[in-house]
Structure 1
Amino acid sequence: MIAFLVLLLPAGVLGVSLWFLVEDLLIIDVPPAISHRVMFRILCLAFNQIIKWGLLLEKLRICSMPRLIQFLLDLHPKMNDPKTMVTDMRFGTIQVRLYQPKGTSSGLRRGIIFYHGGGTVMGSIDLYHNTCNFLAQKTNSVLLSVGYRKLPDYHYPVGASDCLHAAIHFLKTLDIYGVDPSRVVISGDSIGASAAAFISQALVGRTDIPKLRAQILVYPALQGINLQLPSHQQNKNIQFLTRDFMILCFCRYFTIDPSWKDALLTGACVPAHMWEKYKKWLSADNLPERFRYKYQAEFPAPFNEAAYLETRHAFEVENVPLIADDQIVAQLPEALIVTCEWDILRDDGLLYKKRLEDQGVPVTWYHAEDGFHGCMVFLNGLISFPCTLNVGNVIVNFLKEI
């Protein structure tokens, strides 16, 4: 009997995996503009397998989905550069990794604070090790990668708090690392870019620490109020951030019951007075004409007070950098904003670009026509895409001007 079960288990695993594979082959959408389409599709299929197995194992109470994803993704090969010294440290409870070029420098180096993406479900300083190595070496900078705490053990507001405290600690101790206090840049991708934007705002007006010189926001997640923007409709089924996975990450981080998914998507949890106040910044009318496309939506849907009471903590300004007061936005450092055409969060970056420019903040904008959400993680790895290298070079060139 035991021998039979031992034989049955691999067959069952294979059968379930094949079922997932067939299902994904029918629904995965690969836009023709994305280069290396076969490789992209293979990666999408593998990624979806991990997510679905994670959800299945979670239902069986064997392993949480975030833990499985984190474990498997962190197995990817890490490319070490002999010209960079890498040091793992802790700022209290916060894990950080410091990248320092080994060569001599004629003066203090530029400092970069980097927050990885992953929607707090995945992503780590290990997954972004190659990316951070590349940026530190190519720009001769001291880079601090912050391993903020995330799911499944930690929810809002722990991650954002970790990011803020790590930044403040680093800014107070720059002399230890040979960093020029007038050339510190805060950066990140996806939810990491959201953290960078929030911290840039949170540090406005502080006189006890050096002012940030610039901010780099790569396909940032900057609001969860209007989820009917054109990019949300156009790219809802585009990997590596589909609408379903985005909502899953959103609900888990903010501990919102997934039954409120439709209310979040349609805006039924948005009170009329809130939308009236913020539509001047969050409406699709604020997008450049070429990005409005043909997509239109009735937004927001009729108000559901119960939905609002369950979700309102996700609409605080620290979670929605797009709705910060003008007087705060006007004091922000210059920015590089990177958007990708095939990204559900594309319009968040475009709206924030307008907000910054309207308040006189200098903005350098790069739009990857063949780009997709998550492309930064492939920088300096064994697998790469043209859009990844282009985005990396844009960031490097921007940093060299700082």
Structure 2
Amino acid sequence: MKSAAVVVAGLLALSAYYVYLPLPSTVSQPWRLMLLDAAFRVAQETCYLAHFLGFRHHLRTLNFVTGALDKLNVQSSDKVKITDTQFDGIEVRVYEPSTRGGEKTLKRSVVYIHGGGWALASARGGYYNNLCLIMAESLDAVIVSIEYRLVPDFHFPVQFDDVLRATKHFMRPEVLARYSVDPSRVAISGDSAGGNLAAAVCQEITQEENITRRFKLQALVYPVLQPLDFNTPSYQQNEVTAVLPRFIMVRFWIDYFSGSYDFVHPMVVNNHTALDVSQAGPFREHLDWTFLLPSRFRKNYQPVTPAAGQAEIIQAMPALLDVRAAPLLAEREVFRLQPKTYILTCEIDVLRDDGLMYAKRLEKAGVEVTVDHFEDCFHGCMIFTSWPTNFSAGHRTRDSYIKWLSQNL
């Protein structure tokens, strides 16, 4: 009996040690966040083991596991018609709110791109289905959620091309008319990797001369916008934080570009953008966070720019310098063409500074920008609004995001 008690106590201690993660004192519901993070780590490490043993690519397994749980919480509403269809061969899910009062009026619309490191999640899963459903009801808007193809079966630029094709199809006059959408009131939006795709597609469309209708707004939620500096203050501050630690974000980039995991550690220390890597030189000023970030975010952190690095990383993954993958690298002339923009950032997030630098570059180019920063929130929180991942941070960020769209779209 005493031995069993010792074993149980030991297991409890080990579990507590595994679950515990130092978090800022400002974070809301810290223990719930630690449990969520621990669950993610268990899932990821199990999938890595399956990959190592040769069963299946770890991202396919992880997407299967998280997707199975996600589908348990798919909501519906008698106020919104949901249709799965294709736009130019790309799968999409369309949310059409019921016509109020029987009047046939043109509605506003949002093209939404889900996150998940270009490799996880689905427009049909509970998290994003439920978000788009609430958006359709709250905004009385047609929401188009794009089901782009995922890593590891497809790599950059497939995801970008899928979103661009589906979006251009939707923006055709006859398609907008079919869904009773006002062509002058369409926004593009996305979170995390979806924010990356939204920003990149918005940049592309603003430069295409043969497109007559463009977005009124773009709304980017904790977007990932560059793979050249993994030592911005937010990357240094949140190196081992919950949900999205630095090395996981680096791995997502490498998977996106179908690169080698041997590059993970060199990229973490910015060896791919060292001073002797000439290919990265022209882009350094676009990422100069000592200038682009306010002092309260820079704090006492220092830039990490090695004198000597590994040029072969960029040679192996040239897409690291492609603006379609890294919208923050675009030139000022492209930024000048962007629509009114909303950027939501979280303090407990390695990607915080990507969003803040993008906002600053837009402002410098003369674009009206709203930065909605949450000191006590974490990466990915906006979709966590129902059991078993119900966070107050999710409700607050989602409501603030929808409020801005309602007031500006």
Report the Cα distance in structure 2 between the residues aligned to 1:280 and 1:152, rounded to whole angstroms.
32
Indicate the larger mover: 121-130 or 295-304.
Answer: 295-304
1:365-380 correspondence to structure 2 within 5 Å? 365-379=371-385
**CA, structure 1 residues 94+22, in 2 after alignment: closer, same or farther (shift >3 Å)?**
farther
Question: Residue 305 of structure 2 aligns to which amino acid in structure 1?
Answer: F
Report the Cα distance in structure 2 between the residues aligned to 1:265 and 1:350, rounded to whole angstroms.
20
Superposed CA offset, 1:191-235 (max 9, x none)? 100111001110114343411100000001010111110000000
Asked if the contact 2:385/2:392 (under 8 Å) is kept, the reply is no
Report the Cα distance in structure 2 between the residues aligned to 1:20 and 1:91, rounded to whole angstroms.
50
Report the counterpart of residue 109 of structure 2 in structure 1.
111
Report the Cα distance in structure 2 between the residues aligned to 1:145 and 1:331, rounded to whole angstroms.
24
Indicate the larger mover: 332-341 or 43-52.
Answer: 43-52
Alpha-carbon offset, residue 73 of structure 1: 1.9
Asked if the contact 2:246/2:268 (under 8 Å) is kept, the reply is no
Superposed CA offset, 1:255-298 (max 9, x none)? 11111123322222226455543333212212100001222243
1:217-232 correspondence to structure 2 within 5 Å? 217-232=220-235
SS of the aligned residue for 1:318 comes to coil
Unpaired runs of at least 5, structure 2 = 1-10
Unpaired runs of at least 5, structure 1 = 1-16
Superposed CA offset, 1:65-105 (max 9, x none)? 22222222222311222211111112244221111112335
Q: TM-score with structure 1 length normalisation?
A: 0.90
Report the Cα distance in structure 1 between the residues aligned to 2:395 and 2:91, rounded to whole angstroms.
28
Alpha-carbon offset, residue 32 of structure 1: 2.4
Of the three residues 263, 279, 288, the one matched with 1:283 is 288
SS of the aligned residue for 1:360 comes to coil
Of the three residues 330, 336, 361, the one matched with 1:324 is 330
Indicate the larger mover: 103-112 or 228-237.
Answer: 103-112
Alpha-carbon offset, residue 18 of structure 1: 9.6
Report the Cα distance in structure 2 between the residues aligned to 1:306 and 1:18, rounded to whole angstroms.
46
Report the counterpart of residue 211 of structure 2 in structure 1.
208
Indicate the larger mover: 294-303 or 348-357.
Answer: 294-303
Indicate the larger mover: 219-228 or 28-37.
Answer: 28-37
Identical-pair percentage? 32
**CA, structure 1 residues 100+56, in 2 after alignment: closer, same or farther (shift >3 Å)?**
same
1:374-389 correspondence to structure 2 within 5 Å? 374-379=380-385, 383-389=389-395
**CA, structure 1 residues 275+154, in 2 after alignment: closer, same or farther (shift >3 Å)?**
closer
SS of the aligned residue for 1:204 comes to helix
Asked if the contact 1:130/1:381 (under 8 Å) is kept, the reply is no
Report the Cα distance in structure 2 between the residues aligned to 1:396 and 1:195, rounded to whole angstroms.
20
Report the counterpart of residue 177 of structure 2 in structure 1.
175
Report the Cα distance in structure 2 between the residues aligned to 1:201 and 1:319, rounded to whole angstroms.
11
Q: TM-score with structure 2 length normalisation?
A: 0.89
Alpha-carbon offset, residue 180 of structure 1: 0.6
Report the Cα distance in structure 2 between the residues aligned to 1:96 and 1:322, rounded to whole angstroms.
27
Report the Cα distance in structure 1 between the residues aligned to 2:15 and 2:34, rounded to whole angstroms.
11
**CA, structure 1 residues 185+118, in 2 after alignment: closer, same or farther (shift >3 Å)?**
same
Report the Cα distance in structure 1 between the residues aligned to 2:365 and 2:221, rounded to whole angstroms.
20
Of the three residues 354, 357, 360, the one matched with 1:348 is 354
Indicate the larger mover: 80-89 or 301-310.
Answer: 301-310
Report the Cα distance in structure 2 between the residues aligned to 1:379 and 1:193, rounded to whole angstroms.
19
